[in-house]
Amino acid sequence: MSADDTPTGTATGTADGDEGVDLADGVDHQVAMVMDLNKCIGCQTCTVACKSLWTEGGGRDYMYWNNVETKPGAGYPRDWEESGGGWQSSDHSERRPGEIPDKEEYGEAWEFNHEEVMYEGSDQPLRPESDPEWGPNWDEDQGAGEHPNSYYFYLPRICNHCTHPSCVEACPRKAIYKREEDGIVLIDQERCRGYRYCVEGCPYKKVYYNAAQKTSEKCIFCYPRIEGEGPDGETFAPACAEDCPPQLRLVGFLDDEAGPVHKLVEEYEVALPLHPEYRTQPNVYYIPPFAPPQHSDDGESIDVERIPRPYLEELFGERVHDALDRIARERDEVDRGGESELLDLLTDTNPARKYRLGVFDDE
**Residues contributing to the site for another protein (CB under 8 A):** 97, 100-103, 106, 172-174, 193-197, 199-200, 208-209, 211, 214
Query: Which CB sits closer to another protein, 102 or 131?
Result: 102
SS3 sequence, 67-123?
Answer: EEEEECCCCCCCCHHHCECCECCCCCCCECCECCCCHHHHCCCCCECHHHHHHCCCC
CA gap 204, 69 in Å, rounded: 13
Output DSSP code: residue 343.
H
* Closest approach of another protein to the CB of residue 173, in Å: 4
* Closest approach of another protein to the CB of residue 353, in Å: 40
Query: Which CB sits closer to another protein, 85 or 282?
Result: 85
CA gap 99, 114 in Å, rounded: 36
Output DSSP code: residue 309.
H
* Closest approach of another protein to the CB of residue 314, in Å: 26
Cβ 75 vs Cβ 64: under 8 Å: no
* Closest approach of another protein to the CB of residue 145, in Å: 33
Percentages (nearest 5) of helix, strand, coil residues in the chain: 25, 15, 60
Query: Which CB sits closer to another protein, 65 or 253?
Result: 65
* Closest approach of another protein to the CB of residue 194, in Å: 7
CA gap 306, 105 in Å, rounded: 29
Query: Which CB sits closer to another protein, 102 or 363?
Result: 102
The residues, ordered by sequence, that sit 6+ positions from 257 with a Cβ below 8 Å of its Cβ are 15, 266
C-alpha closest to that of 308 among 146, 145, 156, 155? 145
Most distant CA atoms of the chain, gap in Å: 73
Burial 219-251 (b: 16+ CB within 10 A, else e): bbbbbebbeeeeeeeeebbbbbbbbbeebbbbb
* Closest approach of another protein to the CB of residue 195, in Å: 4
Query: Which CB sits closer to another protein, 136 or 276?
Result: 136
Query: Which CB sits closer to another protein, 214 or 309?
Result: 214
* Closest approach of another protein to the CB of residue 159, in Å: 16
Query: Which CB sits closer to another protein, 40 or 207?
Result: 207
CA gap 307, 292 in Å, rounded: 9
Query: Which CB sits closer to another protein, 17 or 97?
Result: 97
SS3 sequence, 184-244?
Answer: CEEECCCCCCCCCHHHHHCCCCCEEEECCCCEEEECCCCHHHHCCCCCCCCCCCCHHHHCC
Query: Which CB sits closer to another protein, 20 or 85?
Result: 85
* Closest approach of another protein to the CB of residue 276, in Å: 23
* Closest approach of another protein to the CB of residue 211, in Å: 5
Output DSSP code: residue 288.
P
Output DSSP code: residue 318.
T
